[in-house]
Structures are given as structure tokens and as C-alpha cells.
Amino acid sequence: MTHDLSFWSLITNASLIVQLVLLGLVLISLSSWWVIGKKGMVLTSARRAANQFEDDFWSGIDLASLYARINRQKEVVWGMEAIFLAGFQEFLRLRSQPTMDPESVVSGAQRAMRAAGSRELDDLEVYLSLLATTGSTSPYIGLFGTVWGIMNAFRALGLAQQATLAQVAPGIAEALVATAMGLFAAIPAVIFYNRYAHEVDRLANRYETFMEEFSNILQRQSYHLRKSYAEAARAPVAQG
């Protein structure tokens, strides 16, 4: 007696539980590949946007002009631009208040940039947990299907009058398909999760470095502003 051991035949002849496991793994794999494609495009765009903004920021352009240009954009502001926008907007708002000292102005701008940076990193990390979950659980889901299939194969073998390798081989092969499917779903998820997590960490370091450098610039501007206020206060009042 011969058995059809083609891949499709192994799936169609598997038990219902194993077929449900395979279906679940296919859906998980498709979801992870969707995340891999989408997250790859997002991170590529984030790197390009950061490179473009840093070129503009360090080109010597006036900060007020850069702030006005970003405000006029119709596109959604994100990434390093959003951090700059939040920090400079808070800096201008606090500086316009006469009771605010320069240190408080810079401190408020730093808090605004940190909040904006946290939001940007949260957006970059969206769906990464799905890849981590897929990579850690898919092999075990596949192993469950394999154990269930092998258990059914040996149960059927126990009912047979004569046990031969030809009788048990198809059942075991059907069960092992679940393990293969689990690995097929898990391996790409683990590879791309590690890669994307590294990219997010690199962008986080770039954002943090920019916030420190921008804070230094705002500190110098606040110092010059305080100095000009002090000189104006010491200037003699003109006699009428």
C-alpha cells in the first residue's frame, strides 16, 4: 500500500487539530510579514527624514525661519522635526512670559522635547511586539501540532494488527509539517525583530543627541537674552 506524501496531501490528510494549528501559523506568518514590510518602510522613512532635517538644521539657517517653514508644511510633522517643533514652540512660549527666568525656559523646552521624543519612539516601536511574540511562540504552537499528530499516529498504529513503517510514516510526516510551519513563521520574525529593534535604538540615540545639542543652543540664546536684559537694566535713564 502506497501513500501520497506530497506536501499538500500531508496537510489535507492531517487531523482537524493539526489543520487548525497550521491555519493559525499561516495567519501568524502573514501578519508578521505585513509588519516586516510596513515597519521596514517606516524606519527607512524615519532615517531619511532625520538625515534631511539634520542637514537643514546644521546648514546655518535661522531657527525661527526653520520653525516657520516646518509650521507651514502640509505634511504630518514627525521624527526629529516633531522634537524640534515641540521644543522651540515651548521655548518661544515661555520666553514671552516676563516672569520666566532663562533656566526655566530651557528646562521647559527640554521637557517638551523629551515628551515629543517619547511619542516618536512609541510610534516607531508599534507592532514590534508582534514580531517578538511570533518568534517566541510559533515554534511551540507548531510543536503542539506535531505532538498531537504523532499521538494520533501511534494511536492508530496501536489499533493495527501489523505495525509497519509504511503505516506510521505518513502520520508522523503529517505531524512534522506543523513544526516546519512554526519554524517558517518564527525565523523571519526573530531576524527582523532584532534588526528593527537595533534601528529603533539607533534612531533613539540620534534623537537624544539632537535634544542635547539643541538644548545647548537654546541655553546660549537664553544667556545672551539675559545678558541683554541686564545691560538694558544698567543703562542710565535719559533725562527729559
Distance between CA atoms of residues 70 and 58, nearest Å: 15
Q: Which of the two residues, 205 and 100, has the higher pLDDT score?
A: 205
C-alpha pair distances (Å), 20 with each of 15, 80, 131, 141: 9, 45, 21, 11
Burial class (CB in 10 A: 0-12, 13-18, 19+), 193: buried
CB 50 within 8 A of CB 203: yes
Helix or strand (DSSP H, E) at 201: helix 165-234
**pLDDT score of 64:** 86
Distance CA 151, CA 164 (A): 16
Say how far apart CA 168 and CA 166 lie, in whole Å: 6
The span from the CA of 111 to the CA of 74, in Å, is 26
- Beta-carbon contacts of 176 under 8 Å, excluding residues fewer than 6 positions away, are 146, 149
Question: Nearest Cα to 225, choosing from 111, 103, 109?
Answer: 103
Cell of 151: 499521538
Confirm if 93 and 109 have CB atoms less than 8 A apart: no
Query: Does residue 205 surpass a pLDDT of 70?
Result: yes
Distance CA 55, CA 81 (A): 12
- Is the pLDDT at 16 greater than 90, yes or no? no
The predicted model scores a pTM of: 0.80
All residues at 6 or more sequence positions from 146 whose CB lies less than 8 Å from its CB, including other chains: 175, 176, 178, 179
Q: Any long-range contacts for 157-165 (C-beta under 8 Å, 24+ apart)?
A: none
In tens, the pLDDT along 22-73 reads: 899 999 999 999 999 999 999 999 999 999 999 988 888 888 888 888 888 7
For 85-127, what is each residue's pLDDT tens digit?
999 999 988 888 777 777 888 899 999 999 999 999 999 998 9
Q: Using one digit for the tens of pLDDT, what is the confidence trace for 145-169?
A: 888 888 877 776 666 556 565 666 6
pLDDT at 113: 94
Residue 230: the pLDDT is 46
Query: What does the block give as the cell for 92?
Result: 518661544
Question: CB–CB of 103/222 below 8 Å?
Answer: yes
C-alpha cell read off for 89: 514652540
Q: End-to-end CA distance of the chain: give it in Å, rounded.
A: 119
Q: How far is 198 from 193, CA to CA, in rounded Å? A: 8
